[in-house]
Structure 1
C-alpha cells in the first residue's frame, strides 16, 4: 500500500483541519440551500411562476457548481470532504423545507438561506487570515459576493 505524501503548503495541519471544518459547514449550508432552491423551482405556483421558476433554476445551478469548488478546496487542504445528505444536513445551519410554502414565502426562505450561507462563509475568515490561506480567502470572497447579491435580489421581490 502506498503511503500518502505529507502536505507542505505553508499551512500547518491543525490550521488546515480548522479551515476544512469551516469549509465543511459552508459546503453543508450550500448543499441544503441547493436542495431547497431546486425543490422550490419544481413546486412554485402562482402569478410569479415563470419569473421565480427561471430565477430559482439559475440559483440552484450556481449553487450546484459551487459545491464542487468548495469540496475541492477541502480536498486540496488534505481533508476528506463530507458527503451524503444526512451528514451534510447535520453540519448545516439551514433547515430543509418541510412543506410547500407560498411563492413569496419561498422567496423569504431563500433570502434567509443566502444570508445564513454568507454568515457561515464570513465566520471562516479569521481562520483563513491567521493561516495566510489566500486561495480559501478568495473562494470565501466570491461566495460572499454571490450570496449577498442573491439575497438582495430576492429581498427586492418582497418590497412594496
Structure 2
C-alpha cells in the first residue's frame, strides 16, 4: 500500500522545536529525558535569539553611516564574529542533549523573542542601530537566565557554564553599546 504525504501546514508562531534526533540511542548522562527536553527547548529559544541578534549586528555592520562609522563598523564586526562562533557551541549542546538544533529562518522566527524592526537599513541612523542592539543583547541575556535556571534545576553544569559565558558576553556588549548613547 502506498503512503501518502501529509498536507498539514507547518505550525506558525511561537513553538518549541527541539525534536529528538531520530536515530539516537538511549542517552544516559544523568539528566532525565524530560529535563533534557526542557533544557533543549530553552537552548533552542536562546539559539533563535542569538541568531537574530547576530543577523541584526551583521546588518548594522554593513549599513552603518555617519560620524561614528569607523568605530561602530569595527565594533559590530568584532561582536558578530564572536556571536557566530558561539552559535555553534549552543547547537552542539542541544545535540549533546539528544535533540536537533533549530537551523532555519522559519524556526528562528518562530522561537525568537527579538522583534524585527523594519526600515532601519534605509535610514541607517547609528543611534537607532545601537539602541536596537542594546535591546537585543538584553533580550538574549533574559533568555540565557531562563535557560540557566532550568539547567540549574536539572544539575546540568555544562549548560549552566555555557549560559554563564553567554551572559557575561552579552551583558558586556549591552553595557558597551549603552555607553555610546549616554
Q: TM-score, normalised by structure 2?
A: 0.84
1:96 CA displacement: 2.7
CA contact (8 A) 2:148 2:164 kept: no
Task: Name the residue aligned to 1:52.
Answer: 72
Pairwise mapping of residues 1-160 of structure 1 onto structure 2 (< 5 A)? Answer: 4-100=24-120, 101-159=124-182
What is the CA–CA distance in structure 1 between the aligned matches of 2:24 and 2:146, rounded to whole Å? Answer: 31
Q: Which runs of 5+ in 2 are unaligned?
A: 1-22
Task: Give the deviation of 1:16 after TM superposition.
Answer: 0.2
More helix by share: 1
1:99, CA displacement in angstroms? 1.6
RMSD across aligned positions (CA): 0.9
What TM-score comes out, normalization by structure 1 length? 0.95
Residues 106-144 of structure 1 deviation map (CA, whole Å, 9 limit, x = unaligned):
000000000000000001122111110000000000000
Which residue pairs with 2:10 in the alignment?
A: none
Which has the greater radius of gyration? 2
Give 4+ residue runs of structure 1 displaced > 2 Å after superposition: none
- Contact 2:24/2:98 (CA < 8 Å) preserved in 1? no
Question: Residues of 1 paired with 2:130 and 2:42: CA distance?
Answer: 27
